[in-house]
Amino acid sequence: MHKIGVFVCWCGSNIAATVDIDRVVAEAKVQPGVVFAKDYQYMCSEAGQNIIKDAIKEYGLTGIVVCSCSPRMHEATFRKAASQAGLNPFMVEIANIREHCSWIHKDKEEGTEKACVLMRAAVAKVTLNTPLKAGESKVVKRALVIGGGIAGIQTALDIADAGFPVDIVEKNATIGGRMAQLDKTFPTLDCSSCILTPKMVEAKSNENIRLITYAEVEEVSGFVGSFKAKIRKKARYVKEDVCTGCGVCMSKCPSKKGLNEFNMGLNNRPAIYIPFAQAIPNVAVIDSTQCIKLNTGKCGLCEKVCTAKAIDYTQQDEFIEEEYGAIVMATGFRPIDASKFDEYSYSTCKDVVTSLELERIMNAAGPTGGVLLRPSDGKHPHSIVFIQCVGSRDVSGRGKPYCSKICCMYTAKHAMLIRDKYPDVEVHVFYIDVRTPGKNFDEFYRRAAEQYDVDYIKGQVGKVWEEDGHLVVRGVDLIANEQIILNTDMVVLATAIEPDPTARKVANMLTASIDTNDFITEAHPKLRPVESPTAGIFLSGVCQGPKDIPETVSQAGAAASKVIGLLCKDKLTTNPCVAHSDELLCNGCSCCEKVCPYGAISYDTHLINDHGVKETRRVALVNEALCQGCGACTVVCPSGAMDLKGFSNKQIMAEVEAICL
Amino acid sequence: MQAISAKIIERAKELMREGTVTKVAGWKAGEFFYDAEPNIFETAESLDGLVYNRFCAANLSKYMIKNSAFESAGKVLVILKPCDTYSFNQLLTEHRIDREKVYIIGAGCEGMCDIDRVRALGFKGITGIDEKGDGKTLVVHTLYGDGEVNIDDVLVNKCEFCKGKAHKIFDELISDNEDEGPRGDRFEGVRALEAMSPEERFAFWQGELSKCIRCNACRNACPACSCRKCVFDNAASGVASKANTDSFEEKMFHIIRAFHVAGRCTDCGECTRVCPQGIPLHLFNRKYIKDIDEFYGTYTAGEEAGQRGPLITFTQEDREPNSVSDKGGN
Amino acid sequence: MSVNDTVDTAVNAAAKEWKPKIVAFCCNWCSYAGADLAGSSRLSYPADVKIIRVPCSCRVNPMFILKAFERGADGVILCGCHPGDCHYSTGNYYTRRRMTLLFSMLDYIGVERERTRVEWVSAAEGARFSKVMNDFVAKIHELGENVKVGDLRCKQ
């Protein structure tokens, strides 16, 4: 005998404004099995939860339906409340009458009718619910951080400090990421390297951290608490444990025409190289496409000059396989390709550079030794034009629809640094809006504009071209409402940032959701910003959305604390909504086994008592610790032996029938 | 075929006497000469009742599920026609048959005869049908004298579109005919339907399916429909409802059945052959086979044991469901 | 007002009165969240769409879809993660094959194919969710009340 309770939430006016709560309650009361129905302003509040708990006890409810916001929001809350009142938490169903109803329908009649249908479907389902018990699974006390930029480093350091081993997998030959390429950081103007390199060193020396550089994660299987990852460590052709980083090989290498990635291709590097002076690990790597020895078999100079005997031309890619309890994505970003914006002549004029290129030009370790020189002729520029929002907030489809968030601030930084060091250089900045929400950010921008006389022009640039050895910029000044033509020596493009191209591949491997811009989706945009909806996958840094350094570091720490919270546990409760096979119905055909992505189904021979007939049969068995509850197996099972707890054939069909009533 | 019939009986007796097999799955004569029915022979003597003629269309592979079960002792001999071996393989793939417990004699086949088609040619009072001996001509004995028909004119539907005379699995062959490859274009009927307008198609199926009396003959004969318990017999499945004829089961039975065997159906044609109402049920199965061939590459269920069927695999480039547009001829 | 006008008005009124029944099966990880996002972004779509939450699009058995039609649904739409983005890695690939075959069969039987649809909508695509539903409901309105699919056995 079912005793169902229905609880209808007003959510203040969020639901009550477009759904006639009284009618939903009245309708609920006449549903088969319903013995109690009540509404309340905020069902999720303590008082609201108490209404539910009291009703469960008083009426001996066997199941409850809460008509409220999305189950993704408060299902867990109401399950917990039910459980506290002695009802199995899986005897709770949510009718989503907010996101799927009151918020999208303006007409109250329509909204009320739909809310009633959704309530009816949830009641129909809950009458078929069965109490479920969550199982337990192990937690491997080791974390994997994918990406060794500031986000990955900070996350790893925090996890390691809590006493858990962490592996950082970095695709480049050194950790450090984009931050290592920056000259100064806003709004304090402290040297980026000076604050980053100690962290890099700490990551190297921390005994709980293993750095796996020049490596990529190839495969990930498993689930929260026990992921298995296969990591490809690419051949460096240099023995990492032997190389002393002396750099002699670099000076002797005859193949010097490689583009220096660290300096954004503004100068060259040899085929064997250490990415930059503070690289961690401070170990050389050979660019196999550029090395003469590896391509022709001749040369071998580096091997000859290496006193440590670290060169090994026969080195092969190696594979590391490891188990992890949690995985953090910290795959970072890159600037978009500015050559898509022909009007700025980036691909044709050497003196049109991106902000990250300017960053290298201004850096003491950069291609010009930190002296501001025009790339085309190495002369001192007297005028520089900055163009903001190149590819950000773009509706043309060539760029990104979002704001890249950091460009306004770094442009102000560049402008200020140039005006400070070279007061003779005129600086103009074309902008759409200047966005400076952040501690001391607006003060910083005002300093650039007011104290340093940076010429901020509200308006966009239509075209940049080269003429008689200098650049011409044609734009509009929206405030003066006039077209301006500026002669200048350099143009700096504040290019939009986009997630690193590896993000999508990694996200797919981790089954983490990803949005249309390739940023990783968080479990909840406000309440769970550092977790992916996939349990055990956490997000750190720009892979989740554009961020500056302080935000990245705080998010990295937040991700670490979530990981630590997970790794502290000895056991995890598993999702009890898993597949289950009825051995009386099972044909033993193996179709389910073949579609299971987790290898959770196996076969065994069982002595079956089929209504008095005893037979030995081959039957499917579900390993509940491995099953993640997708339900793929249920549909390939023609006899319907395989069913999914919590989403059974009967339950879903009951919902269908209730909706189509 | 009468020639190999004697050889089959002789060989079956031999295998039974030497103890290789303990029983034999074959056909015995029914009440009328044209209704040879599947039978399990348990003694060598009883094998004299085994027949193998133009009316042994029934596919015996499904019987091997029960006869090779764990508790079933000894080996069973089964006689399989070329087309039956596909079903046998498919059942092997699905672990429904224990290969170790089955001894297969692949019997040569020259096509099975549809008695209704003989009658339709005007023969009345038929008392028996014999081979003329040329492999093509049948002698029809009637109360009013003998006549002759060409087998090609009276073939069972499944034989009209014979997949070929080669056995896909066997322990020994008793056959005196060569494989001539597939006969006819088996998707002809499907194409004809596809070429119709949606209204015509709907009318066609409405006409055909209205005849259905839900006798379950199609389900019982089908080797792919070998579930221990059919969803439609299972009150807990949420789709069965015996009492109410205006129910889901009544309406959706054939669609669901076709879907459940999609990618597993070997096109053995038994469903259509056994339908007492003459519904061309194979047109459902062949539609799925044709779609699978076109969408995912040619696939023949039961071609060999251990294949991975098209619905339990995928490629990342598969076509989108919405792309299956109306192929109507209007 | 002429008699014809009155009839027209009555017909129009009846057409307006008819509310299609539309069942949407949504994957918990993508389109269900996409629908939540459409909700929190107040991107409306007709109230005729009622969503059933499933853990993955691959949980949807063709029987559920046929059941919906048999019970008088005018349209059934199935939403899952974009191919390649399945929360369970491979579920939507199986969905794609199953539904392709099922839809093709519906077409073959002569029922309106457009009453069934599969769309891939991610958790971030609230706007797309709303658009997909608006489009689908518009299509169902165009097709009108479902008379054919309700009885696939087509008994005369």
Q: How far does the CA of residue B157 sit from the closest CA of chain C (Å)? A: 21
- C42 CB neighbour count, 10 Å cutoff: 11
Please identify among residues 591-620 of chain A the ones whose CB lies closer than 8 Å to any CB of chain C. Answer: 595, 597
- In three-state secondary structure terms, A83 is helix
Domain identity same for B274 and B216: yes
Distance CA B66, CA B69 (A): 5
Question: Using a CB-CB distance cutoff of 8 angstroms, which residues of chain B are in contact with residue A617?
Answer: 69-70, 228
Distance CA C82, CA A358 (A): 39
Question: Is A432 among the domain residues?
Answer: yes
Question: Is B323 among the domain residues?
Answer: no
Question: Is B258 among the domain residues?
Answer: yes
Domain identity same for B20 and B168: yes
Question: Which residues, 6+ apart, have CB-to-CB distance to B51 below 8 Å?
Answer: B5, B26, B27, B28, B29, B36
Statement: residue C11 has pLDDT above 60? no
Instruction: Tell me the pLDDT band of B73, cut-offs 50, 70 and 90.
Output: confident
Select the residue of B94, B231, B238 nearest A590 (Cβ to Cβ): B94
pLDDT per position as a tens digit, C52-82: 999 999 999 999 999 898 888 999 999 999 9
pLDDT of residue B327: 44
Q: With CA atoms as reference, report the closest residue to B223 among B78, B52, B35, B18.
A: B78
As beta bridge partners, residue A22 has none
pLDDT per position as a tens digit, A365-380: 999 999 999 999 999 9
Could B210 and C156 be called an inter-chain contact, meaning their C-beta atoms sit closer than 8 Å?
yes
Domain identity same for B35 and B105: yes
Instruction: Tell me the pLDDT band of A626, cut-offs 50, 70 and 90.
Output: confident
Select the residue of B231, B261, B308 nearest A640 (Cβ to Cβ): B231
Long-range contact set of residues B307-311: C-beta below 8 Å, sequence gap at least 24: B307/B93, B308/A594, B309/A591, B309/B93, B309/B263, B309/B264, B310/B263, B310/C97, B311/A636, B311/B262, B311/B263, B311/C94, B311/C97, B311/C98, B311/C101
Statement: residue B329 has pLDDT above 50? no
Lowest mean pLDDT among A258-272, B104-118, C10-24: C10-24
Asked if A202 is an interface residue toward chain C (Cβ–Cβ < 8 A), one would say: no
Domain identity same for A122 and A90: yes
**Strand-pair category, C116-120 with C75-80:** parallel
pLDDT of residue C3: 46
**Number of domains comprising chain A:** 5
Domain identity same for A409 and A542: no
Query: To the nearest 5 percent, what fractions of chain A are helix, strand and coil?
Result: 30, 25, 40
Average pLDDT, chain A: 95
Q: Which chain C residues touch B if contact means CB-CB below 8 Å?
A: 62-63, 66-67, 70, 83-84, 90, 93-94, 96-105, 107-113, 116-119, 148, 150-156
pLDDT per position as a tens digit, B83-134: 999 999 999 999 999 999 999 999 999 899 999 999 999 999 999 999 888 8
Lowest mean pLDDT among B231-240, B296-305, C72-81: B231-240
Q: How far does the CA of residue C139 sit from the closest CA of chain B (Å)? A: 13
Domain identity same for B272 and B233: yes
Element (H, E) at A242: none
Q: Which domains does chain C have, with CATH numbers?
A: 20-145 (3.40.50.960)
- B17 CB neighbour count, 10 Å cutoff: 10
pLDDT per position as a tens digit, C82-128: 988 888 888 999 999 999 999 999 889 888 888 999 999 999 899 99
Question: Is A135 among the domain residues?
Answer: no
Select the residue of C93, C103, C155 nearest B318 (Cβ to Cβ): C93
Nearest CA in chain B to A635: B260
Question: Using a CB-CB distance cutoff of 8 angstroms, which residues of chain B are in contact with residue A587?
Answer: 94, 96, 226-228
Domain identity same for A587 and A559: no
pLDDT of residue C151: 67
Could B229 and A585 be called an inter-chain contact, meaning their C-beta atoms sit closer than 8 Å?
yes
pLDDT per position as a tens digit, A155-206: 999 999 999 999 999 999 999 999 999 999 999 999 999 999 999 999 999 9
Distance CA A181, CA B91 (A): 63
pLDDT of residue A534: 83
Question: Is B321 among the domain residues?
Answer: no
Position B222: which residue type?
C
Distance CA B305, CA B86 (A): 9
Asked if B311 is an interface residue toward chain C (Cβ–Cβ < 8 A), one would say: yes
Could C117 and B311 be called an inter-chain contact, meaning their C-beta atoms sit closer than 8 Å?
no
Nearest CA in chain B to C62: B256
Q: Which pair of structure tokens corresponds to residue C29? A: 């990880």
Question: Is A611 among the domain residues?
Answer: yes
Mean pLDDT throughout A524-536?
Answer: 86
Could C104 and B291 be called an inter-chain contact, meaning their C-beta atoms sit closer than 8 Å?
yes
pLDDT per position as a tens digit, A557-582: 999 999 999 999 999 988 899 999 99
Question: Is A491 among the domain residues?
Answer: yes
Cα angle: C137, vertex C140, C142; to 5 degrees: 115
Domain identity same for A183 and A197: yes
Question: Using a CB-CB distance cutoff of 8 angstroms, which residues of chain C are in contact with residue A635?
Answer: 58-62, 94, 98
Q: Which pair of structure tokens corresponds to residue A543? A: 């892979």
pLDDT of residue B328: 38
Domain identity same for A522 and A585: no
pLDDT of residue C1: 41
pLDDT of residue C9: 52
Question: Using a CB-CB distance cutoff of 8 angstroms, which residues of chain A are in contact with residue B234?
Answer: 585, 639-640
Q: Output the CA torsion A46→A48→A50→A53 (10° steps).
A: -130
Residue carrying structure tokens 């189904």 = A601
Domain identity same for B123 and B250: no
pLDDT of residue B118: 95
Instruction: Tell me the pLDDT band of C155, cut-offs 50, 70 and 90.
Output: low
Question: Using a CB-CB distance cutoff of 8 angstroms, which residues of chain B are in contact with residue A609?
Answer: none
Element (H, E) at A487: strand A482-488
State which residues form the domain around B245.
188-312
Domain identity same for A188 and A286: no
Domain identity same for A464 and A590: no
- B210 CB neighbour count, 10 Å cutoff: 13
- In three-state secondary structure terms, B222 is coil
The answer to whether the CB of A234 falls within 8 A of the CB of A214 is: yes
End-to-end CA distance of chain C: 41
The DSSP string of A627-660 is: -----HHHHH-TTS-EEETTS-HHHHHHHHHHHT
**Strand-pair category, A326-329 with A537-539:** parallel
Distance CA C34, CA C79 (A): 10
Question: Is A59 among the domain residues?
Answer: yes
Domain identity same for B46 and B79: yes
- A225 CB neighbour count, 10 Å cutoff: 24
Cα angle: C4, vertex C6, C10; to 5 degrees: 115
Average pLDDT, chain B: 90
Question: Is B179 among the domain residues?
Answer: no
CATH of the domain at A592: 3.30.70.20
Domain identity same for A181 and A289: no
Distance CA A313, CA A237 (A): 5
The answer to whether the CB of A126 falls within 8 A of the CB of A118 is: no
Domain identity same for B197 and B255: yes
Question: Is B330 among the domain residues?
Answer: no
Domain identity same for B40 and B97: yes
Domain identity same for B61 and B169: yes
State which residues form the domain around A456.
336-498
pLDDT per position as a tens digit, A53-83: 999 999 999 999 999 999 999 999 999 999 9
Question: Using a CB-CB distance cutoff of 8 angstroms, which residues of chain B are in contact with residue C60?
Answer: none
Domain identity same for A65 and A94: yes
Helices and strands, counts by H and E, chain C: 5, 4
pLDDT of residue B238: 74
Question: Using a CB-CB distance cutoff of 8 angstroms, which residues of chain A are in contact with residue C47?
Answer: 101, 104-105, 107, 110-111, 113-114
Domain identity same for B41 and B129: no
Question: Which residues, 6+ apart, have CB-to-CB distance to A298 below 8 Å?
Answer: A292
Phi-psi region of C103 (alpha: psi -120 to 50; beta: other; left: phi over 0): alpha
Domain identity same for A550 and A514: yes
Instruction: Tell me the pLDDT band of B310, cut-offs 50, 70 and 90.
Output: very high
Question: Is A22 among the domain residues?
Answer: yes
Question: Is B329 among the domain residues?
Answer: no
pLDDT of residue B104: 97
Helices and strands, counts by H and E, chain A: 18, 34
Domain identity same for B138 and B83: no
Could C58 and A631 be called an inter-chain contact, meaning their C-beta atoms sit closer than 8 Å?
yes
Element (H, E) at A583: none
Q: How far does the CA of residue C43 sit from the closest CA of chain A (Å)? A: 6
E-strand ranges in B73-162 read 76-80, 102-107, 126-131, 137-142, 145-150
Domain identity same for A175 and A218: yes
CATH of the domain at A444: 3.50.50.60
Could C130 and A630 be called an inter-chain contact, meaning their C-beta atoms sit closer than 8 Å?
no
Select the residue of C52, C55, C61 nearest A629 (Cβ to Cβ): C55
Select the residue of C67, C154, C155 nearest B202 (Cβ to Cβ): C154
Statement: residue B241 has pLDDT above 80? no
pLDDT per position as a tens digit, B255-265: 899 999 999 99
Question: Using a CB-CB distance cutoff of 8 angstroms, which residues of chain C are in contact with residue A116?
Answer: none
Element (H, E) at A604: strand A601-610
**Number of domains comprising chain B:** 3
Question: Is A312 among the domain residues?
Answer: no
Domain identity same for B202 and B305: yes
For residue C6, give Cα distances in angstroms to A133, A449, C2, C17. 62, 71, 6, 16
Position C70: which residue type?
E
The answer to whether the CB of A558 falls within 8 A of the CB of A541 is: no
The answer to whether the CB of A293 falls within 8 A of the CB of A231 is: no
Which three-class secondary structure string do you get for A435-484? CCCCCCHHHHHHHHHHHCCCEEEECCEEEEEEECCEEEEEEEECCCCEEE
Distance CA A543, CA A294 (A): 35
- What subunits make at least 3 CB pairs under 8 angstroms with C? A, B
DSSP A408: H
Last residue of some domain: A92, A126, A160?
A: A126
Cα angle: C104, vertex C105, C107; to 5 degrees: 65
Instruction: Tell me the pLDDT band of A134, cut-offs 50, 70 and 90.
Output: confident
Half-sphere exposure of A598 (CA within 13 A, CB side): 24
Assembly ipTM: 0.90
Q: How far does the CA of residue C7 sit from the closest CA of chain A (Å)? A: 26
Question: Is B317 among the domain residues?
Answer: no
Could C109 and B201 be called an inter-chain contact, meaning their C-beta atoms sit closer than 8 Å?
yes
CATH of the domain at A70: 3.40.50
Question: Which residues, 6+ apart, have CB-to-CB distance to A111 below 8 Å?
Answer: A18, A19, A101, A102, A105, C47
Domain identity same for A42 and A27: yes
Instruction: Tell me the pLDDT band of A222, cut-offs 50, 70 and 90.
Output: confident
